[in-house]
Structure 1
Amino acid sequence: MAADMSFRRVVRQSKFRHVFGQAVKADQCYDDIRVSRVTWDSSFCAVNPKFVAVIVEASGGGAFLVLPLSKTGRIDKSYPTVCGHTGPVLDIDWCPHNDEVIASGSEDCTVKVWQIPENGLAAPLVEPVVSLEGHSKRVGIVTWHPTARNVLLSAGCDNVVVIWNVGSGEELFRLEDQHPDMIYSASWNRDGSLFCTACKDKSVRILDPRRGTVIKEKEKAHEGARPMRAIFLADGKVFTTGFSRMSERQLALWDPNNLDEPIAVQEMDSSNGVLLPFYDPDTSVVYLCGKGDSSIRYFEITDEAPYVHFLNTYISKDPQRGMGFMSKRGLDVNKCEIARFYKLHERKCEPIIMTVPRKSDLFQDDLYPDTAGPEPPMEAEDWVAGRDAMPLLISLKDGYVPSKQRDLKVTRKNVLSTATASSASAASSGAAKSSGSTHLSAAASHPAGIPTIHHPDDKKVEELIEEVRALKLVVQAQGKRIAKLEEQLARIEDGDV
């Protein structure tokens, strides 16, 4: 009996111990995608409940694909891309408050924000809603504020962090002197009052963006020379990945109130791929995906020693070039899916589903606590004025149903404004053409955000007329071809051939 009790103490109980990963069937993958080969340690993929975006190879500039989740199978080489950057795209991030808005950072030193039409791209998208120019070197990091609408952080190889109001196209805060070297990663805390960074000088810093000050700093968080990553956890702790002095991969957990020593540190292996951490605040599970690895390791973080508990490893055959991580709103709660990854191969994107086996078909409350919803609790102006707010939570009990998205258009101090359903659908189909240039010029020439008159219905009519013309030409060509084939068939039947 005593032995049995001691065994129970050794084997820690966790509802996530039996999580297993499974790749989807071949016909559910996105095939024939030329994933970017640019040398940069970002995930190259971003996903939300509507779209998957992948940075791809592009001649003469930078581009990324945006595919509706349902568009699986072979992706035609002529499929339209978002291609307005003049240099390779390094990082992309979906807006947490609008599933049709995505930000991108590029080697061309700009940050651009794009409106994706509701049903995906019908033509190449060249003009962004707004182009943000504040960096002197390539921009490798873009990440949206978790709770304030329109607030976006960008970090460049000029060692500068800029906080933008996307709605007005203006810089809110600029942090120039806090990082002496290249910034490897940036991560907001749960309420967006602070963010943490990992830097090439081996330091992890916690910063207050509104004061422009470093609150805490840990030098040599990992002693190895290769890149580190740092993310905030929901309880305010900081989780890092990096390399030891002997070039072994490490993970570590830190209490910001005392950064002298980590709460926990674990050596992993001696591979040289950077470990990208993906964190689920609802379950306190961290997934580690190494670039070039063929596995995903996952850990549960708790308040009891050893604090970081290894759960399991998903192993596959092929190495990953990048990885997308679905937000909780996009998961299938009926199948007890607790995470979904979008693994980038050399020529395809493969969804991987993480499931907790359960016998009951009922909604599993313990797996799905209320999660961050798409509605922001405050505007950019509130946050600038000093307000903080936690995410507004939604229940997933009946599954997440996306509501009508806000359309991007220039209004006073706000690009991402509410639009009526009719104008939203009309503008979405025109976004790939002329609307982007209207927004961009308005944002550039009217910093105060003077409204511009916009007639999406006229554009819609023009586009439909153009489409009808094109279809008529196709029908005429096919008619001629059919007539020719019928003539040949008649000759064959008459024995003339």
Structure 2
Amino acid sequence: MSFRRGVVRQSKFRHVFAQAWKSEHCIDDVRVSRVTWDGPLCAVNPKFIAVIIEAGGGGTFLVLPINKSGRVDQSCPTVCGHAAPVLDIQWCPHDDNIIASASEDCTVKVWQIPDGGLTVPMTDAILTLEGHSKRVGILAWHPSAYNILLTAGCDNIICVWNVGTGELVYQLTESHPDLIYSVSWNKDGSAVCTVCKDKALRIIDPRRGTVLKVREKVHEGTRPMRAIFLADGKILTTGFSRMSERQLALWDAVNLSEPVVVQEMDTSNGVLLPFYDPDTNMVYLCGKGDCTIRYFEVTDEPPYVHFLSLYSSKEPQRGAGFLCKRGVEVNKCEIARFYKLHERKVEPISMTVPRKSDLFQVDLYPDTAGLEPALLADEWIAGQDAPPLLVSLSGGYTAPPSKQRDTLRGKPKRDSQDSGSPLTSAGNTAAHTSTPTSAAREMDEEAAPQQVTPKETDGNADRPRREV
């Protein structure tokens, strides 16, 4: 007699439950932006929450200490240096006081937020990046290299910047024939995956300017898609079927010929924004305009993407911020936290594993990415790759003492034995030559790369670049 049919898959995350915080812990009177761009409109780190808001003059976002609650006064100072609406904001993974913003005014700005938050309106960025000819809607900091920032605009161009020098080090102008919907770095920052309005998924080595893999029609529908690299190198995409059903698909980056799995959700028309936790291998899907957050665990066993549960509320979400693991409460078995944007309110939602013990749960909290970068910008530009440096969450995360940095331009302390080169001036970066990256080595044999034509080159065909 077999009981296999009744066996339930074992997982410590099977009973994860979501709980909204009480109303007194929410942030009220926040006029969330009505911009039509399909972005999350919110970014969170262990120090601050940033929300793109409506403003008469256009490009404004709010930055508040993470422990802020209650009503936000209309006179509250904001970051307001853009000339047109802000479309995306992203905190630097290696400095909790640094945030980048992308705008319809075709620029990207980098800001340094003082500890404790703003006391006066901030209009002057520490750096303005000008390389796009149309509005900029996507930002992606490199996961492990200090000062490397990727931007993508409605000019269908991807730019990679060294924000320590302000230099545009790579520009990919021919990779995408249409609007880019999303960009995601892989774990060690050697490659990015993108999805585009032409419905294709691309894996790109940005340093060599080559498209390593292309998969046409990842999702048949015409609505926007998203793609994220997972920790094991697989790629998860969200999109729409030909019948306008929302879909989730998992792809093996080595062979994109067929998806590992495809799951169909519902017929809602809201774009599914995926948020990924590499420590637990969980994926959270927040649909814009939905009242729900679905969450899944990705494993190596069929059906590979396991539906866990669904959080449902009465109010639809305009966007959401996802707090990195350094900011969660480990003594409460909180494994993730969202900041859900309502029309006039920001509501924290905790994802918790039910455990009776008050002791630190080692299995729930593997070491996670810390603030210290694994590489300097020039080391990555020269062809080095490294996964993020990890820190323990035992006892809760405590940020290391602030390093004496000249805003973004100083380099972090490095071991004297390290062969890494320090940050250089913009003119010296041309001395670097690219070497094949780990992603390229795995994939070059699978398909002949498509060469990207840079806007300007310095004679080194492997390294599209442009002096700014």
Range into which the TM-score falls when normalised by the shorter chain: 0.7 to 0.9
Instruction: Please point out which of 248, 255, 258 is paired with 1:258.
Output: 255
Written as runs of structure 1 = structure 2, the 5 A alignment for 1:4-15 is: 4-8=3-7, 11-15=8-12
Instruction: Please point out which of 396, 409, 413 is paired with 1:415.
Output: 409
Structure 2 equivalent of residue 106 of structure 1: 103
TM-superposed CA distance for 1:448, in Å, is 6.2
Give CA deviations for 1:14-52 in whole Å, capped at 9, x if unaligned: 111110000001110010000000110000000000000
Structure 2 equivalent of residue 228 of structure 1: 225
Code of the residue aligned with 1:370 in structure 2: it is D
TM-superposed CA distance for 1:404, in Å, is 3.4
Mapped contact 2:43–2:321 kept (Cα < 8 A) = yes
The SS at the match of 1:383 is helix
Give the Cα–Cα distance (whole angstroms) in 2 for the partners of residues 188 and 43 of structure 1.
Answer: 18
Code of the residue aligned with 1:125 in structure 2: it is M
Greater share of helix? 1
Instruction: Please point out which of 228, 235, 241 is paired with 2:238.
Output: 241
Mapped contact 2:94–2:372 kept (Cα < 8 A) = yes
Give the Cα–Cα distance (whole angstroms) in 1 for the partners of residues 5 and 162 of structure 2.
Answer: 56
Give the Cα–Cα distance (whole angstroms) in 1 for the partners of residues 191 and 66 of structure 2.
Answer: 33
Structure 2 equivalent of residue 120 of structure 1: 117
Give CA deviations for 1:376-426 in whole Å, capped at 9, x if unaligned: 01100000000000111100011101233346636xxx525569xxxxxxx
Mapped contact 1:152–1:163 kept (Cα < 8 A) = yes
Give the Cα–Cα distance (whole angstroms) in 2 for the partners of residues 408 and 318 of structure 1.
Answer: 43
Mapped contact 1:98–1:405 kept (Cα < 8 A) = no
Give the Cα–Cα distance (whole angstroms) in 1 for the partners of residues 410 and 267 of structure 2.
Answer: 45
Verify: 1:389 aligned to 2:383, yes or no: no
The SS at the match of 1:39 is coil
Mapped contact 1:241–1:252 kept (Cα < 8 A) = yes
Verify: 1:305 aligned to 2:299, yes or no: no
Structure 2 equivalent of residue 161 of structure 1: 158
Give the Cα–Cα distance (whole angstroms) in 1 for the partners of residues 73 and 361 of structure 2.
Answer: 40
Report which of the two structures shows the higher radius of gyration computed on alpha carbons. 1
The SS at the match of 2:174 is coil
Structure 2 equivalent of residue 198 of structure 1: 195
TM-superposed CA distance for 1:4, in Å, is 3.3
Give the Cα–Cα distance (whole angstroms) in 2 for the partners of residues 48 and 296 of structure 1.
Answer: 20
Mapped contact 2:376–2:411 kept (Cα < 8 A) = no
Give the Cα–Cα distance (whole angstroms) in 1 for the partners of residues 47 and 401 of structure 2.
Answer: 12
Structure 1 residues 61 and 447, CA gap change in structure 2 (3 angstroms): farther
Instruction: Please point out which of 40, 45, 70 is paired with 2:42.
Output: 45
Structure 1 equivalent of residue 317 of structure 2: 320
Structure 2 equivalent of residue 89 of structure 1: 86
The SS at the match of 1:278 is strand
Give CA deviations for 1:40-90 in whole Å, capped at 9, x if unaligned: 000000000000000000112201000001111100001000000000000
Structure 2 equivalent of residue 403 of structure 1: 400
Code of the residue aligned with 1:123 in structure 2: it is V
Give the Cα–Cα distance (whole angstroms) in 1 for the partners of residues 217 and 88 of structure 2.
Answer: 26
The SS at the match of 1:266 is strand
Structure 1 equivalent of residue 17 of structure 2: 20
Code of the residue aligned with 2:12 in structure 1: it is K
TM-superposed CA distance for 1:349, in Å, is 0.4
Give the Cα–Cα distance (whole angstroms) in 2 for the partners of residues 213 and 447 of structure 1.
Answer: 23
Structure 1 equivalent of residue 169 of structure 2: 172
The SS at the match of 1:112 is strand
TM-superposed CA distance for 1:269, in Å, is 0.2
Code of the residue aligned with 1:104 in structure 2: it is S
Structure 2 equivalent of residue 348 of structure 1: 345
Verify: 1:185 aligned to 2:182, yes or no: yes
Give CA deviations for 1:273-301 in whole Å, capped at 9, x if unaligned: 00000000011100000000010000110
CA RMSD after TM alignment? 1.4
Mapped contact 1:115–1:408 kept (Cα < 8 A) = no
Give the Cα–Cα distance (whole angstroms) in 2 for the partners of residues 71 and 259 of structure 1.
Answer: 45
Mapped contact 2:89–2:139 kept (Cα < 8 A) = yes
TM-superposed CA distance for 1:178, in Å, is 0.2
Give the Cα–Cα distance (whole angstroms) in 2 for the partners of residues 418 and 386 of structure 1.
Answer: 19
Give CA deviations for 1:300-330 in whole Å, capped at 9, x if unaligned: 1000111011000011110000000000000
Q: Specify every segment of 5 or more residues in structure 1 that has no aligned partner in the other structure, as ranges.
A: 420-445, 450-497
The SS at the match of 2:36 is coil
Q: Specify every segment of 5 or more residues in structure 2 that has no aligned partner in the other structure, as ranges.
A: 414-424, 429-468
Code of the residue aligned with 1:73 in structure 2: it is G
Give the Cα–Cα distance (whole angstroms) in 2 for the partners of residues 146 and 185 of structure 1.
Answer: 16
Give the Cα–Cα distance (whole angstroms) in 2 for the partners of residues 392 and 418 of structure 1.
Answer: 13
Structure 2 equivalent of residue 428 of structure 1: none
Give CA deviations for 1:323-382 in whole Å, capped at 9, x if unaligned: 000000000000000100000000010000000001111111111011111100110000
Give the Cα–Cα distance (whole angstroms) in 1 for the partners of residues 279 and 399 of structure 2.
Answer: 20
Structure 1 residues 407 and 270, CA gap change in structure 2 (3 angstroms): farther
The SS at the match of 2:80 is strand
Mapped contact 1:49–1:329 kept (Cα < 8 A) = yes
